[in-house]
Amino acid sequence: MKVIGLIDEACCAGARMSKAAKVIGISCRTIQRWHQEGDVKGDARSQSAKDRTPHNKLTEQEQDKVLSIVNSPEFANLPPSQIVPILADQDQYIASESTFYRLLRETKQLEHRGKAKAPTRKRPEPLQADAPNQLWSWDITYLATTVKGVFYYLYLFMDVFSRKIVGWEVYEEQSADLAANLIRKSCLREGIAGNELLLHSDNGSPMKGATMLATLQQLGVMPSFSRPSVSDDNPYSESLFKTLKYRPGFPDKPFDSLEEARTWVAGFQHWYNEEHRHSSLKFVTPGQRHRGDDAEILEKRRAVYKGARSKMPERWAGNTRNWIPVGTVYLNPGKPVKKEEQIKQKIA
């Protein structure tokens, strides 16, 4: 059955069965029953299940009455959560609050109502980098100390294209002045002067402090910020912090001194930049990617696989592993089409 095949394909690609089944218009339990019954030639639902209409469904006249009420001058600027209690105070019950919302949603009227502007949720413009030192990301994370309630703060700058840590420092406080001093040193070390660099961060006070912004202007660095309260607008820094805190070498006990914390982070930086083979970079190190050595390394791997296949072609049913270097890297790219939407398009 085509529907079963499409749903299985979506689930194998990572979609949830409940979401895929909802797109088709059937329940998840129905899909499970079809699998249990084996080879299904057609829609196994009974005719009554397909055509069943809820006994308490509103008539067309009742639905029109609900829509006329919510669009009347008296209620046009109010949500159903306000309309239904007002009608009750007027000794009227037309329908439940959820029914009001459902009808507004079905008629595409469930939008911001009133004079105040609707909150904007526009996704930021995507940023991209096809070479080192075009796009950096930075953030600050906590490092626990032996004094309860007291933390050290790790300031960390990374190159999004190569994932290399290009600057870091551990301080006892969060400050725009400290951040400005660190970005100045990092740009000098990487030779950023005269080059166009975008620096992405969240909306913390050290990121948007006057000293930090003035320093970026002096360096010719363009700042970029995440949307307020949206953590996944800065995913590269968040991912790096998870790698830092969840790797086996992270200390089991809090840091006893600032020097101890700095010593550990220095060791982590060397490991991450020069020893850690990054899964998103075809398993080359960030340092190799940053220096441009990845193309030669991956070409050698491709030659090894090609030679192995020529000796034992029966071991490969298809192509050998893809060792082509990663190209352009994007920060906050456009929202991909969901697996459920792909199913709907195929069925249509």
More confident residue, 333 or 273: 273
CATH architecture of the domain 127-280 equals 2-Layer Sandwich (3.30)
d(CA 171, CA 226): 24
Which residue in 1, 9, 17, 43 sits closest to 342, CA to CA? Answer: 9
Condensed to tens digits (0 to 9), the pLDDT of residues 168-184 reads 999 999 999 999 999 99
Condensed to tens digits (0 to 9), the pLDDT of residues 97-143 reads 999 999 999 998 887 766 677 666 666 678 899 999 999 999 999 99
Burial (CB < 10 A; 0-12, 13-18, 19+), residue 80, is buried
Question: How far out from the chain centre does Cα 46 lie?
Answer: 41
d(CA 22, CA 36): 20
Which two three-digit tokens encode residue 85? 């209690």
Lowest mean pLDDT among 20-34, 186-200, 313-327: 20-34
Count the neighbouring beta carbons within 10 Å of the beta carbon of residue 183: 24
Q: Which residue has the tokens 């109502």?
A: 113
Q: For the whole prediction, is pTM greater than 0.95?
A: no
| Sequence ranges of the chain with CATH classification 3.30.420.10 | 127-280
